[in-house]
């Protein structure tokens, strides 16, 4: 008997399908795939049919009655009559995870087929050569877990950071969260190439194999004058999950489920700007530098808020190793948070950004590009080159590629104007002058198709199409970073300041 062939056949068993008319709503369990109606938007109220995976099942929320999130069905003696009182949390195939939502059972199409979840694969014992190496000193031990915030808005989690591949940390599994590294390892086991792994992270999200983290636990967030809908799961305390609105103070970032408590806090809160040093000011835009070690609570609350809109990062257990650079918009009421990026105080990989986010209410106004430009301005002040930490989110990937292309074409054009069309320029020179890492420069050059082979060497050729596109981009009225207004010197930390209590 060939055990390997038998195991392979068992793992490759296709998912079973129940045809229309052979299943009912009471048969649906988490992991099943069904066909559902989804509104297309607009005033017409038209519906489209999509294939969706059922992630979770809960009782339909009752007015003024708190409900608990669960995955089981309530007991009933009336069959499917009771099933109508449930809701399904679904993920639409080939759609971004931020569009996942709770739907009523009436949107499920019973006249279509139902796909049952595949049986779990049997784990094969690892060979001795495949065992992980011991953890490096100075990292979190495998017993460290992502801590849960407390109920008064004073959280105890962590900075937003990518897990390292050489760590063996069980905290992600214990807290219901997955890391990009775990996702990559799972993809390698599935036989995917590295490019496919990154694409899977970008489209599916790093938490696609963790049930609890796949379900958004917040309905709406009120922060300042804006009410926004979260995109992804964020580990706020369980008592705040599925409340109609989570109220967040836009200055101190503390949070409440009660509007009365929140309004009372707003009359007492004296903070009107991020608790750090203002290092840049131009018109109504300012940047503040916040040390995660000095302002732990504020930075932890910022990480919880940003996790609602970032799925490719995981919450790390401490914010001490990070500096946070927050962009705010000033008015007579205070400094309103627009976005931020964080960076490690000491990064061996040369990343100049660990996490970057523009809040949804300020997106599509050019603020994301301003954050990127500011991060590279800090990198040039340090006389270094840098790159954002990978993998990037879908919006982050598009934004950075557009920024790299614009900056590189603009730099090459200036060289041509001063030195003529035959001016010598190298990729390393572009990298040093712009602060963009050489691999990112090559990525932009290849996507723009600027590299040509001429007389035994590569040359940069700016075609008419590239020039026309660049002129159209430059013609847009965009805010730029003025380096002369940056009052900042690269911070220097002692060994004791970089110990972070590990």
Average pLDDT value for the chain = 77
Peptide bond into 391 cis (omega under 30): yes
Long-range contacts formed by 136-142: CB under 8 A, 24+ apart? 136/166, 136/167, 138/502, 139/164, 139/167, 139/502, 140/167, 140/169, 140/171, 140/316, 140/317, 140/502, 141/169, 142/168, 142/169, 142/170, 142/171
Report pLDDT for 273.
Answer: 95
Catalytic pick among 53, 250, 344, 389? 389
CA angle, 307 then 380 then 202, to 5°: 30
Indicate whether 308 pLDDT > 90.
yes
pLDDT band at 267 (very low <50, low <70, confident <90, very high): very high
C-beta separation of 55 from 91 below 8 A: yes
Indicate whether 172 pLDDT > 70.
no
Report pLDDT for 86.
Answer: 85
Report pLDDT for 315.
Answer: 65
Report pLDDT for 280.
Answer: 97
pLDDT band at 124 (very low <50, low <70, confident <90, very high): low
- The distance from CA 462 to its chain's CA centroid, rounded to whole angstroms, is 34
Indicate whether 265 pLDDT > 60.
yes
H-helix or E-strand spanning residue 289:
strand 285-291
Contacts of 435 (CB under 8 A, 6+ apart): 352, 376, 377, 379, 380, 384, 385, 386
Long-range contacts formed by 361-364: CB under 8 A, 24+ apart? 361/226, 361/228, 362/329, 362/338
Q: What does the pLDDT look like over 17-27, one tens digit per residue?
A: 999 889 999 99
The 3-state DSSP class for residue 389 equals: coil
Cα–Cα dist 114/33, whole Å: 6
Report pLDDT for 242.
Answer: 79
CATH superfamily of 220-391+485-497: Gcn5-related N-acetyltransferase (GNAT) (3.40.630.30)
Q: What is the pTM of this model?
A: 0.73
Cα–Cα dist 309/360, whole Å: 8
Which segments of 61-154 does DSSP mark as H helices, in order? Answer: 80-83
Report pLDDT for 213.
Answer: 61
> What is the 8-class DSSP label of residue 387?
E
Cα–Cα dist 286/187, whole Å: 42
Indicate whether 10 pLDDT > 50.
no
Q: Is 10 a catalytic residue?
A: no
- The CATH number corresponding to 402-462 among 1.10.10.10, 3.40.710.10, 1.20.1070.10, 3.30.70.660 equals 1.10.10.10
Cα–Cα dist 379/434, whole Å: 9
pLDDT band at 126 (very low <50, low <70, confident <90, very high): low
Cα–Cα dist 123/128, whole Å: 15
Q: Which residues of the chain does CATH 2.30.30.140 include?
A: 17-58+86-115
H-helix or E-strand spanning residue 372:
helix 367-381
What residues are paired with 353 via a beta bridge?
388
Stretch 284-295: mean pLDDT: 94
pLDDT band at 316 (very low <50, low <70, confident <90, very high): low
Pick the more confident residue, 40 or 124.
Answer: 40
Q: What does the pLDDT look like over 397-456, one tens digit per residue?
A: 889 999 999 999 999 888 877 766 666 788 899 999 999 999 999 999 998 888 887 777
Q: Which residues of the chain does CATH 3.40.630.30 include?
A: 220-391+485-497
> Percentages helix, strand, coil for the chain, rounded to the nearest 5?
30, 20, 45
Long-range contacts formed by 444-450: CB under 8 A, 24+ apart? 444/401, 444/404, 444/405, 444/408, 445/408, 447/401, 447/405, 448/405, 448/408, 448/409, 450/412
Q: What does the pLDDT look like over 200-237, one tens digit per residue?
A: 444 443 333 344 567 888 999 999 999 999 999 999 99
Task: State the CATH architecture for 17-58+86-115.
Answer: Roll (2.30)
Report pLDDT for 250.
Answer: 95
Pairing assessment for the beta strands 33-39 and 285-291 based on DSSP bridges: unpaired
Q: What does the pLDDT look like over 368-390, one tens digit per residue?
A: 999 999 999 999 999 999 999 98
**Of 56-65, 137-146, 320-329, 407-416, where does the model show the most confidence?**
320-329
pLDDT band at 467 (very low <50, low <70, confident <90, very high): confident
Indicate whether 144 pLDDT > 70.
no
């Amino acid at each position: 008997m060939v055990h390997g062939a038998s195991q392979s056949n068992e793992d490759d068993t296709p998912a079973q399908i129940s045809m229309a008319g052979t299943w009912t709503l009471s048969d649906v369990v988490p992991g099943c795939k069904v066909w559902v109606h989804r509104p297309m938007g607009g005033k017409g109220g038209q519906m489209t049919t999509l294939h969706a995976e059922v992630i979770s099942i809960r009782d339909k929320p009752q007015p003024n009655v708190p409900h608990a999130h669960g995955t089981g069905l309530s007991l009933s003696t009336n069959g499917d009559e009771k099933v109508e009182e449930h809701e399904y949390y679904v993920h639409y195939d080939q759609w971004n995870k931020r569009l996942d939502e709770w739907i009523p059972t009436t949107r499920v199409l019973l006249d279509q087929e139902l796909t049952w979840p595949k049986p779990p694969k049997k784990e094969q014992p690892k060979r001795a050569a495949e065992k992980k190496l011991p953890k490096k000193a100075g990292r979190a031990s495998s017993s460290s877990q992502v801590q849960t915030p407390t109920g008064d808005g004073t959280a105890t989690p962590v900075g937003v950071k990518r897990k390292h591949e050489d760590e063996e940390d069980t905290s992600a599994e214990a807290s219901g969260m997955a890391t990009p590294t775990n996702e990559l390892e799972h993809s390698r086991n599935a036989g995917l190439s590295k490019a496919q792994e990154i694409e899977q992270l970008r489209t599916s999200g790093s938490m696609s194999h963790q049930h609890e983290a796949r379900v958004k636990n917040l309905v709406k967030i009120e922060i300042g004058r804006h009410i926004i809908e979260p995109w992804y799961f964020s580990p706020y305390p369980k008592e705040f999950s599925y409340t109609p609105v989570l109220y967040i103070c836009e200055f101190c970032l503390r949070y409440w489920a009660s509007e009365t408590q929140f309004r009372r806090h707003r009359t007492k809160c004296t903070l009107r700007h991020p608790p750090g040093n203002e290092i840049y000011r131009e018109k109504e835009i300012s940047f503040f530098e916040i040390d995660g070690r000095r302002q732990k609570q504020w930075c932890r609350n910022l990480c919880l808020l940003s996790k609602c809109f970032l799925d490719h990062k995981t919450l790390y257990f401490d914010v001490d190793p990070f500096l946070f650079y927050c962009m705010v918009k000033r008015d007579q009421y205070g400094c309103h948070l627009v976005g931020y990026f964080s960076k490690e105080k000491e990064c061996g990989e040369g990343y100049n950004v660990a996490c970057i986010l523009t809040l949804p209410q300020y997106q599509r106004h050019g603020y994301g590009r301003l954050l990127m430009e500011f991060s590279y301005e800090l990198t040039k002040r340090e006389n270094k080159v840098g790159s954002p930490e990978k993998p990037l989110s879908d919006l982050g990937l598009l934004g950075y590629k557009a920024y790299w292309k614009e900056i590189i074409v603009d730099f090459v054009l200036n060289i041509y104007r001063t030195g003529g069309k035959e001016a010598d320029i190298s990729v390393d020179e572009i990298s040093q002058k712009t602060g963009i890492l050489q691999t990112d420069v090559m990525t932009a050059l290849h996507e723009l198709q600027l590299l040509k082979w001429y007389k035994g060497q590569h040359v940069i050729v700016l075609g008419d199409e590239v020039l026309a596109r660049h002129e159209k981009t430059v013609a847009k009225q965009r805010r730029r970073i003025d380096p002369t207004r940056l009052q900042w010197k690269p911070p220097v930390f002692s060994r004791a300041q970089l110990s972070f209590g590990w």
